Chains A and B, each alone.
Chain A
Amino acid sequence: GENVEQHPSTLSVQEGDSAVIKCTYSDSASNYFPWYKQELGKRPQLIIDIRSNVGEKKDQRIAVTLNKTAKHFSLHITETQPEDSAVYFCAASRNDYKLSFGAGTTVTVRA
């Protein structure tokens, strides 16, 4: 099955700086790569996703890049704000089937 590895496990950044989280996946047939944000005690919520037919997608301060050859994808958050503090999960699936999650990255934005 799909195995998703996520790094780093924790990330502390100064407010206004950028944060980058990287994930690798094992199944070359995976074609859907979402990112979920989970605030403390809350449910995970989708923040951005990318499909394998594109290499980059942006939505305001967040962007995701995908390298299919290397089987890795990354989340970039620019101009971080305190409300960006949360646990971020990457995930991968083939045709929206059996979504597998990474272990998560705890992001702390220091004021």
Chain B
Amino acid sequence: EAGVAQSPRYKIIEKRQSVAFWCNPISGHATLYWYQQILGQGPKLLIQFQNNGVVDDSQLPKDRFSAERLKGVDSTLKIQPAKLEDSAVYLCASSHNTGELFFGEGSRLTVL
């Protein structure tokens, strides 16, 4: 079974630039999550989708972050404009109905 796919794995941008991350969940997984993991901290939930609907985005900084899952499968997370404090690993995860989250390898963002 293929795992959660994410790209790009690494991205370096300057502050005020924009960046987009892509995620393809495990086939059949209705729930998709984007987490932000700052170095030395636990993953912080940014947004949770159920199919193509948003379940929770209360911790998403909506002035600069946006995410979509238009067809209920893959998803894109965008940051525009980026700030220095956005430097982190962006983890995508998916789940079926067991509660277990399956994480992708993550996209490491460095903002200079």
Contacts and interface: CB of A to CB of B under 8 A. Distances in A.
Contacts of A103: 40-42
Interface in B57-73: 58-59
Contact of B43 (A6, A42, A89): A89
Nearest to B42: A101
Given A1-B58, A98-B48, A46 B100 contact: yes
B14 interface: no
A44 B42 CA distance: 10
B104 A43 contact: yes
Given A46-B100, A89-B43, A97 B56 contact: yes
B30 to A, nearest CB: 11
Interface string A52-93: 000000000000000000000000000000000000010101
B106 A98 contact: no
B41 A34 contact: no
A49 B105 contact: no
B109 to A, nearest CB: 15
A interface residue count range (under 10 / 10 to 19 / 20 to 34 / 35 or more)? 20 to 34
B43 A44 contact: yes
Contact of A98 (B41, B45, B91, B103): B45
Interface string A12-28: 00000000000000000
Interface string B82-109: 0000000001000101011101111000
Contacts of A97: 48, 55-56
Given A43-B91, A43-B104, A34 B99 contact: yes
21 contacts: A1-B58, A34-B100, A42-B105, A43-B105, A44-B43, A44-B91, A46-B100, A46-B101, A49-B100, A89-B43, A93-B99, A97-B55, A98-B45, A98-B55, A99-B101, A101-B35, A101-B42, A101-B44, A102-B42, A103-B41, A103-B42
